[in-house]
Amino acid sequence: MNNQPPKWAVRFLKWYCNPYFLEEIEGDIYELFERRLLVGSFKIARIRFIWDVFRFFRWSNIKRTNSTYRTMNHFTLFANYLKLGIRNIRRDLVSSSINIFGLAIAICFAIAIFIFTDIMRNMDSFHSNGDRIYQVTNLLDQDGNKNLSGDSPLMLAPAIQKDHPTVEAASRLEFRSASVKFNADVFDELTVFVDPDFFRMFDFDMITGDRNVLDDKSSIVISEAKAHKYFKAEAPIGKEHSFKFLNGLN
Amino acid sequence: MKGTHLGELEELVLLTVGSLFDEAYGVAVMDEVKEKAGRDMNISAIHAVLRRLEEKGLLKSRMGGSTNERGGRRKRYFTLTKEGKLALDQSISLRSSLYQRIPDITYNFST
Protein backbone atom coordinates (compact mmCIF):
# COMPACT_ATOMS: atom_id res chain seq x y z
CA MET A 1 0.00 0.00 0.00
CA ASN A 2 1.38 3.39 -0.95
CA ASN A 3 1.22 5.72 1.99
CA GLN A 4 -0.27 8.65 0.17
CA PRO A 5 -3.36 10.66 1.04
CA PRO A 6 -6.39 10.11 -1.22
CA LYS A 7 -5.92 11.82 -4.55
CA TRP A 8 -9.50 13.03 -4.87
CA ALA A 9 -9.28 14.88 -1.54
CA VAL A 10 -6.10 16.66 -2.64
CA ARG A 11 -7.75 17.51 -5.94
CA PHE A 12 -10.82 18.87 -4.14
CA LEU A 13 -8.61 21.01 -1.90
CA LYS A 14 -6.73 22.37 -4.90
CA TRP A 15 -10.01 23.11 -6.64
CA TYR A 16 -11.74 25.15 -3.97
CA CYS A 17 -8.78 26.74 -2.21
CA ASN A 18 -7.64 30.27 -2.97
CA PRO A 19 -4.27 29.71 -4.72
CA TYR A 20 -2.74 32.28 -2.41
CA PHE A 21 -3.36 30.07 0.67
CA LEU A 22 -3.06 26.69 -1.01
CA GLU A 23 0.62 26.00 -0.28
CA GLU A 24 0.51 26.66 3.46
CA ILE A 25 -2.78 24.79 3.94
CA GLU A 26 -1.67 21.80 1.86
CA GLY A 27 1.67 21.74 3.65
CA ASP A 28 0.13 21.76 7.12
CA ILE A 29 -2.33 19.01 6.27
CA TYR A 30 0.47 16.91 4.76
CA GLU A 31 2.65 17.40 7.81
CA LEU A 32 -0.16 16.23 10.10
CA PHE A 33 -0.82 13.28 7.78
CA GLU A 34 2.78 12.14 7.87
CA ARG A 35 2.90 12.54 11.64
CA ARG A 36 -0.26 10.45 12.06
CA LEU A 37 1.24 7.75 9.83
CA LEU A 38 4.10 7.36 12.35
CA VAL A 39 1.81 6.88 15.34
CA GLY A 40 -1.30 5.24 13.89
CA SER A 41 -2.61 3.21 10.99
CA PHE A 42 -2.81 4.41 7.40
CA LYS A 43 -6.58 4.10 7.47
CA ILE A 44 -7.03 6.51 10.37
CA ALA A 45 -4.49 8.98 8.94
CA ARG A 46 -6.37 8.85 5.65
CA ILE A 47 -9.71 9.57 7.29
CA ARG A 48 -8.25 12.41 9.35
CA PHE A 49 -6.71 13.86 6.16
CA ILE A 50 -10.10 13.89 4.43
CA TRP A 51 -11.65 15.43 7.56
CA ASP A 52 -9.02 18.19 7.55
CA VAL A 53 -9.67 18.94 3.87
CA PHE A 54 -13.37 19.41 4.63
CA ARG A 55 -12.65 21.50 7.72
CA PHE A 56 -10.66 23.91 5.54
CA PHE A 57 -13.64 24.20 3.20
CA ARG A 58 -14.77 27.59 4.48
CA TRP A 59 -15.47 30.83 2.72
CA SER A 60 -12.36 32.66 3.89
CA ASN A 61 -10.23 29.99 2.16
CA ILE A 62 -12.41 29.84 -0.96
CA LYS A 63 -12.91 33.47 -1.89
CA ARG A 64 -10.41 34.81 -4.36
CA THR A 65 -10.34 38.40 -3.16
CA ASN A 66 -8.80 39.38 0.12
CA SER A 67 -8.32 42.83 1.56
CA THR A 68 -4.90 42.04 3.02
CA TYR A 69 -3.41 40.09 0.16
CA ARG A 70 -4.56 42.14 -2.78
CA THR A 71 -1.58 43.64 -4.56
CA MET A 72 -3.31 46.79 -5.80
CA ASN A 73 -6.31 48.58 -4.41
CA HIS A 74 -8.35 49.43 -7.51
CA PHE A 75 -11.12 51.12 -5.61
CA THR A 76 -8.82 53.80 -4.20
CA LEU A 77 -7.54 54.51 -7.68
CA PHE A 78 -11.08 54.99 -9.00
CA ALA A 79 -11.87 57.26 -6.05
CA ASN A 80 -8.79 59.27 -7.00
CA TYR A 81 -9.96 59.60 -10.62
CA LEU A 82 -13.33 60.83 -9.38
CA LYS A 83 -11.73 63.42 -7.14
CA LEU A 84 -9.48 64.69 -9.94
CA GLY A 85 -12.50 64.95 -12.24
CA ILE A 86 -14.45 67.02 -9.73
CA ARG A 87 -11.48 69.32 -9.16
CA ASN A 88 -10.98 69.88 -12.89
CA ILE A 89 -14.67 70.74 -13.27
CA ARG A 90 -14.49 73.21 -10.42
CA ARG A 91 -11.34 74.88 -11.72
CA ASP A 92 -13.15 76.32 -14.75
CA LEU A 93 -16.85 76.26 -14.00
CA VAL A 94 -17.95 78.24 -17.08
CA SER A 95 -16.36 76.10 -19.76
CA SER A 96 -17.10 72.82 -17.98
CA SER A 97 -20.77 73.73 -17.53
CA ILE A 98 -20.95 74.60 -21.24
CA ASN A 99 -19.33 71.27 -22.04
CA ILE A 100 -21.67 69.29 -19.79
CA PHE A 101 -24.74 71.16 -21.04
CA GLY A 102 -23.71 70.62 -24.65
CA LEU A 103 -23.09 66.94 -24.07
CA ALA A 104 -26.49 66.59 -22.37
CA ILE A 105 -28.24 68.25 -25.34
CA ALA A 106 -26.35 66.04 -27.77
CA ILE A 107 -27.29 62.87 -25.89
CA CYS A 108 -30.92 64.02 -25.75
CA PHE A 109 -30.97 64.49 -29.50
CA ALA A 110 -29.26 61.17 -30.13
CA ILE A 111 -31.88 59.38 -28.03
CA ALA A 112 -34.73 61.31 -29.66
CA ILE A 113 -33.43 60.51 -33.17
CA PHE A 114 -33.04 56.86 -32.22
CA ILE A 115 -36.62 56.67 -30.92
CA PHE A 116 -37.94 58.50 -33.99
CA THR A 117 -36.19 56.26 -36.52
CA ASP A 118 -37.13 53.19 -34.50
CA ILE A 119 -40.80 54.16 -34.76
CA MET A 120 -40.46 55.03 -38.45
CA ARG A 121 -38.79 51.76 -39.35
CA ASN A 122 -40.52 49.28 -37.08
CA MET A 123 -43.96 50.55 -36.06
CA ASP A 124 -46.66 48.04 -37.04
CA SER A 125 -44.20 46.29 -39.35
CA PHE A 126 -45.78 42.90 -38.53
CA HIS A 127 -48.52 43.51 -41.11
CA SER A 128 -47.53 41.43 -44.12
CA ASN A 129 -49.37 43.77 -46.49
CA GLY A 130 -47.85 46.82 -44.80
CA ASP A 131 -46.18 48.08 -47.98
CA ARG A 132 -49.52 48.05 -49.85
CA ILE A 133 -51.65 49.81 -47.24
CA TYR A 134 -52.09 53.55 -47.50
CA GLN A 135 -53.85 56.13 -45.45
CA VAL A 136 -55.87 58.64 -47.42
CA THR A 137 -55.12 62.15 -46.27
CA ASN A 138 -57.01 65.32 -46.90
CA LEU A 139 -55.31 68.51 -48.04
CA LEU A 140 -57.57 71.48 -47.60
CA ASP A 141 -56.82 74.78 -49.27
CA GLN A 142 -58.55 77.38 -47.13
CA ASP A 143 -57.93 80.70 -48.89
CA GLY A 144 -54.26 79.91 -49.43
CA ASN A 145 -53.82 78.20 -46.00
CA LYS A 146 -53.00 74.61 -46.77
CA ASN A 147 -54.18 72.27 -44.01
CA LEU A 148 -53.29 68.58 -44.04
CA SER A 149 -55.55 66.32 -42.00
CA GLY A 150 -55.72 62.54 -41.59
CA ASP A 151 -59.40 62.12 -42.19
CA SER A 152 -61.40 61.92 -45.38
CA PRO A 153 -65.11 61.81 -46.26
CA LEU A 154 -66.88 58.60 -45.21
CA MET A 155 -68.29 58.09 -48.71
CA LEU A 156 -64.80 57.99 -50.25
CA ALA A 157 -64.12 54.31 -49.45
CA PRO A 158 -67.03 52.70 -51.35
CA ALA A 159 -66.63 55.21 -54.19
CA ILE A 160 -62.91 54.64 -54.66
CA GLN A 161 -63.38 50.86 -54.59
CA LYS A 162 -66.05 51.14 -57.28
CA ASP A 163 -64.18 53.55 -59.57
CA HIS A 164 -60.61 52.30 -59.22
CA PRO A 165 -60.00 48.55 -59.72
CA THR A 166 -56.44 48.93 -58.37
CA VAL A 167 -57.90 49.39 -54.90
CA GLU A 168 -58.24 45.81 -53.67
CA ALA A 169 -59.78 46.55 -50.31
CA ALA A 170 -60.66 49.58 -48.23
CA SER A 171 -61.66 50.12 -44.67
CA ARG A 172 -62.95 53.18 -42.91
CA LEU A 173 -62.28 53.88 -39.25
CA GLU A 174 -64.68 55.87 -37.16
CA PHE A 175 -64.09 56.47 -33.47
CA ARG A 176 -67.04 56.76 -31.06
CA SER A 177 -67.26 56.80 -27.27
CA ALA A 178 -69.97 54.55 -25.99
CA SER A 179 -71.45 53.24 -22.77
CA VAL A 180 -71.21 49.47 -22.89
CA LYS A 181 -73.48 47.27 -20.81
CA PHE A 182 -73.00 43.62 -20.02
CA ASN A 183 -75.41 42.15 -17.49
CA ALA A 184 -75.36 44.71 -14.68
CA ASP A 185 -71.93 46.21 -15.51
CA VAL A 186 -71.72 49.44 -17.48
CA PHE A 187 -68.44 50.94 -18.69
CA ASP A 188 -67.46 53.90 -20.85
CA GLU A 189 -65.38 52.69 -23.79
CA LEU A 190 -63.82 54.09 -26.93
CA THR A 191 -65.17 52.05 -29.83
CA VAL A 192 -64.07 51.89 -33.45
CA PHE A 193 -66.29 51.20 -36.45
CA VAL A 194 -64.54 49.50 -39.37
CA ASP A 195 -65.47 48.00 -42.71
CA PRO A 196 -65.53 44.17 -43.17
CA ASP A 197 -62.27 44.39 -45.15
CA PHE A 198 -60.38 45.52 -42.03
CA PHE A 199 -59.15 42.07 -40.99
CA ARG A 200 -58.30 41.17 -44.59
CA MET A 201 -55.98 44.20 -44.77
CA PHE A 202 -54.34 44.05 -41.33
CA ASP A 203 -52.74 41.01 -39.70
CA PHE A 204 -54.00 41.46 -36.16
CA ASP A 205 -54.07 38.01 -34.54
CA MET A 206 -57.40 36.59 -33.47
CA ILE A 207 -57.11 34.64 -30.22
CA THR A 208 -60.41 32.92 -30.80
CA GLY A 209 -63.24 33.24 -33.28
CA ASP A 210 -63.64 33.80 -37.00
CA ARG A 211 -61.62 36.43 -38.92
CA ASN A 212 -64.68 37.20 -41.10
CA VAL A 213 -66.77 38.07 -38.06
CA LEU A 214 -67.04 41.69 -39.20
CA ASP A 215 -69.23 40.69 -42.19
CA ASP A 216 -72.00 40.46 -39.63
CA LYS A 217 -72.99 43.98 -38.64
CA SER A 218 -74.20 42.98 -35.17
CA SER A 219 -70.88 41.52 -34.00
CA ILE A 220 -67.88 43.18 -32.39
CA VAL A 221 -64.23 42.36 -31.83
CA ILE A 222 -62.68 43.02 -28.43
CA SER A 223 -59.15 42.84 -27.07
CA GLU A 224 -58.04 40.19 -24.61
CA ALA A 225 -57.88 42.76 -21.80
CA LYS A 226 -61.50 43.79 -22.47
CA ALA A 227 -62.62 40.16 -22.56
CA HIS A 228 -61.16 39.68 -19.09
CA LYS A 229 -62.77 42.89 -17.93
CA TYR A 230 -66.30 41.87 -18.97
CA PHE A 231 -66.36 38.08 -18.87
CA LYS A 232 -63.64 37.25 -16.33
CA ALA A 233 -62.67 33.63 -17.08
CA GLU A 234 -65.71 32.81 -19.22
CA ALA A 235 -65.45 32.26 -22.96
CA PRO A 236 -66.32 35.57 -24.70
CA ILE A 237 -67.77 34.07 -27.90
CA GLY A 238 -71.57 34.27 -28.16
CA LYS A 239 -72.11 36.77 -25.33
CA GLU A 240 -74.27 39.82 -25.88
CA HIS A 241 -73.46 43.47 -25.20
CA SER A 242 -75.69 46.46 -25.46
CA PHE A 243 -74.24 49.79 -26.55
CA LYS A 244 -75.42 53.32 -26.04
CA PHE A 245 -73.63 56.03 -28.00
CA LEU A 246 -73.37 59.63 -27.01
CA ASN A 247 -75.41 60.84 -29.95
CA GLY A 248 -78.33 58.69 -28.85
CA LEU A 249 -77.90 55.71 -31.17
CA ASN A 250 -78.39 52.27 -29.69
CA MET B 1 -12.41 45.71 8.76
CA LYS B 2 -13.91 44.49 11.97
CA GLY B 3 -12.99 46.11 15.27
CA THR B 4 -9.64 45.54 16.88
CA HIS B 5 -11.21 43.89 19.88
CA LEU B 6 -9.25 40.81 20.90
CA GLY B 7 -11.22 37.60 21.43
CA GLU B 8 -10.22 34.95 23.97
CA LEU B 9 -8.99 32.47 21.38
CA GLU B 10 -7.30 35.23 19.41
CA GLU B 11 -5.45 36.32 22.52
CA LEU B 12 -4.32 32.75 23.20
CA VAL B 13 -3.07 32.30 19.64
CA LEU B 14 -1.39 35.71 19.71
CA LEU B 15 0.45 34.78 22.92
CA THR B 16 1.48 31.46 21.40
CA VAL B 17 2.83 33.10 18.28
CA GLY B 18 4.78 35.52 20.47
CA SER B 19 6.24 32.70 22.57
CA LEU B 20 7.22 30.65 19.50
CA PHE B 21 8.96 33.77 18.17
CA ASP B 22 10.44 32.75 14.84
CA GLU B 23 8.97 29.27 14.50
CA ALA B 24 5.25 30.07 14.51
CA TYR B 25 3.42 28.41 11.61
CA GLY B 26 0.08 26.62 11.54
CA VAL B 27 0.97 23.16 12.90
CA ALA B 28 3.49 24.50 15.45
CA VAL B 29 0.90 26.90 16.86
CA MET B 30 -1.64 24.08 17.04
CA ASP B 31 0.79 21.82 18.93
CA GLU B 32 1.75 24.60 21.31
CA VAL B 33 -1.89 25.45 22.08
CA LYS B 34 -2.57 21.76 22.74
CA GLU B 35 0.47 21.36 24.95
CA LYS B 36 0.22 24.55 27.01
CA ALA B 37 -3.52 25.19 27.12
CA GLY B 38 -4.76 21.64 26.62
CA ARG B 39 -7.09 22.65 23.83
CA ASP B 40 -7.40 20.24 20.92
CA MET B 41 -8.12 22.43 17.94
CA ASN B 42 -8.45 21.64 14.26
CA ILE B 43 -5.73 23.05 12.03
CA SER B 44 -8.30 24.93 9.96
CA ALA B 45 -9.44 26.87 13.05
CA ILE B 46 -5.83 27.86 13.75
CA HIS B 47 -5.45 29.08 10.18
CA ALA B 48 -8.62 31.13 10.42
CA VAL B 49 -7.52 32.81 13.66
CA LEU B 50 -4.02 33.53 12.34
CA ARG B 51 -5.42 35.12 9.21
CA ARG B 52 -7.90 37.21 11.19
CA LEU B 53 -5.11 38.46 13.42
CA GLU B 54 -3.06 39.35 10.37
CA GLU B 55 -5.99 41.30 8.91
CA LYS B 56 -6.26 43.18 12.20
CA GLY B 57 -2.60 44.08 11.82
CA LEU B 58 -1.48 42.27 14.98
CA LEU B 59 0.57 39.69 13.08
CA LYS B 60 2.67 39.76 9.96
CA SER B 61 3.66 36.78 7.89
CA ARG B 62 6.34 35.60 5.49
CA MET B 63 6.80 32.42 3.50
CA GLY B 64 9.64 30.19 4.70
CA GLY B 65 12.21 28.52 2.49
CA SER B 66 11.50 25.32 0.59
CA THR B 67 12.57 22.15 2.40
CA ASN B 68 12.28 18.42 1.82
CA GLU B 69 9.62 17.91 4.47
CA ARG B 70 5.89 18.40 3.71
CA GLY B 71 6.52 17.42 0.10
CA GLY B 72 8.51 20.58 -0.55
CA ARG B 73 5.69 22.91 0.43
CA ARG B 74 6.72 26.10 2.16
CA LYS B 75 5.46 27.20 5.57
CA ARG B 76 3.95 30.57 6.35
CA TYR B 77 5.66 31.95 9.43
CA PHE B 78 3.88 34.50 11.62
CA THR B 79 5.51 37.10 13.86
CA LEU B 80 4.10 39.72 16.22
CA THR B 81 3.87 43.26 14.96
CA LYS B 82 4.33 46.30 17.16
CA GLU B 83 0.54 46.61 17.39
CA GLY B 84 0.29 42.95 18.32
CA LYS B 85 2.74 43.34 21.18
CA LEU B 86 0.89 46.48 22.28
CA ALA B 87 -2.46 44.69 22.25
CA LEU B 88 -1.02 41.90 24.39
CA ASP B 89 0.49 44.39 26.84
CA GLN B 90 -2.82 46.20 27.13
CA SER B 91 -4.88 43.08 27.69
CA ILE B 92 -2.46 41.71 30.30
CA SER B 93 -2.19 45.00 32.17
CA LEU B 94 -5.99 45.28 32.16
CA ARG B 95 -6.28 41.78 33.60
CA SER B 96 -3.67 42.34 36.28
CA SER B 97 -5.07 45.72 37.28
CA LEU B 98 -8.53 44.21 37.68
CA TYR B 99 -7.03 41.26 39.51
CA GLN B 100 -5.25 43.56 41.98
CA ARG B 101 -8.56 45.16 42.87
CA ILE B 102 -10.21 41.98 44.00
CA PRO B 103 -10.58 42.58 47.75
CA ASP B 104 -9.05 39.97 50.00
CA ILE B 105 -12.40 39.55 51.69
CA THR B 106 -13.66 37.68 48.62
CA TYR B 107 -11.44 34.74 49.46
CA ASN B 108 -12.92 34.54 52.93
CA PHE B 109 -16.40 34.09 51.54
CA SER B 110 -15.45 31.55 48.96
CA THR B 111 -13.78 29.22 51.41
> Do A35 and A111 sit in the same domain of this protein?
no
- pLDDT the model gives residue B111: 52
Whether residue B74 lies within 8 A of chain A, CB to CB, comes out as yes
Whether residue B60 lies within 8 A of chain A, CB to CB, comes out as no
Compare CB distances from B43 to A29, A58, A60 and report the shortest one's residue: A29
DSSP chain B: ----PPPHHHHHHHHHHHHHTT---HHHHHHHHHHHH-----HHHHHHHHHHHHHTTSEEEEE----SGGGGPPPEEEEE-HHHHHHHHHHHHHHHHHHHTS-THHHHHH-
Does any domain span residue A70? yes
Does any domain span residue A135? no
> Do A23 and A45 sit in the same domain of this protein?
yes
Range from B31-35, B53-57, B104-108 that averages highest in pLDDT = B31-35
> Do A43 and A109 sit in the same domain of this protein?
no
Whether residue A37 lies within 8 A of chain B, CB to CB, comes out as no
Phi-psi region of B70 (alpha: psi -120 to 50; beta: other; left: phi over 0): left
B47 has a pLDDT exceeding 60: yes
Q: Confirm whether the ipTM is greater than 0.85.
A: no
DSSP A130-180: GGG-----EEEEETTEEEEES---TTHHHHHHHH-TT------EEEEEEEE
* Alpha carbon of B94: minimum distance to chain A alpha carbons (Å): 29
What is the number of structural domains in chain A? 3
> Do A56 and A71 sit in the same domain of this protein?
no
Q: Which of residues 9-48 of B touch A (CB under 8 A)?
A: 25-27, 42-45, 47-48
Ranges in chain A, pLDDT < 70: 1-2, 65-74, 233, 236, 238-241, 244-250
Contact A67, B55 (CB under 8 A): yes
Question: B68-79: per-residue pLDDT in tens?
Answer: 777 788 889 999
Does any domain span residue A87? yes
> Do A157 and A237 sit in the same domain of this protein?
yes
Say if the Cβ atoms of B70 and A30 lie within 8 Å: yes
> Do A167 and A234 sit in the same domain of this protein?
yes
Q: Which domain holds residue A56?
A: 7-61
**A182: enclosing H helix or E strand:** strand A173-182
B1 has a pLDDT exceeding 50: no
Check: pTM over 0.80? Answer yes or no. no
Question: B53-65: per-residue pLDDT in tens?
Answer: 888 888 998 888 8
> Do A229 and A168 sit in the same domain of this protein?
yes
Burial state string for A184-204 with b = 16 or more CB within 10 A and e = fewer than 16 = eeeeebeeeeebebbbebbee
- pLDDT the model gives residue A249: 52
> Do A201 and A235 sit in the same domain of this protein?
yes
Does any domain span residue A132? no
Q: Which of A46, A61, A76 is the last residue of a domain?
A: A61
Q: Which of residues 55-114 of A touch B (CB under 8 A)?
A: 55-56, 58, 60-61, 67-68
* Alpha carbon of A56: minimum distance to chain B alpha carbons (Å): 5
Does any domain span residue A126? no
Q: Which of A61, A81, A96 is the last residue of a domain?
A: A61
List CB contacts (< 8 A) between A25 and chain B. 26, 47
Distance CA A107, CA A48 (A): 64
Angle at A67 between CA A63 and CA A69, to 5 degrees: 85
Say if the Cβ atoms of B73 and A58 lie within 8 Å: no
Which of B30, B49, B54, B73 to mutate to probe the A interface, most A CBs <10 Å? B73
> Do A52 and A92 sit in the same domain of this protein?
no
Say if the Cβ atoms of B42 and A52 lie within 8 Å: yes
Say if the Cβ atoms of B25 and A24 lie within 8 Å: yes
* Alpha carbon of B93: minimum distance to chain A alpha carbons (Å): 29
Q: How confident is the model at residue B4 (pLDDT cuts 50, 70, 90)?
A: low
Distance CA A75, CA A77 (A): 5
Whether residue A27 lies within 8 A of chain B, CB to CB, comes out as yes
> Do A185 and A225 sit in the same domain of this protein?
yes
Does any domain span residue A77? yes
- pLDDT the model gives residue A112: 97
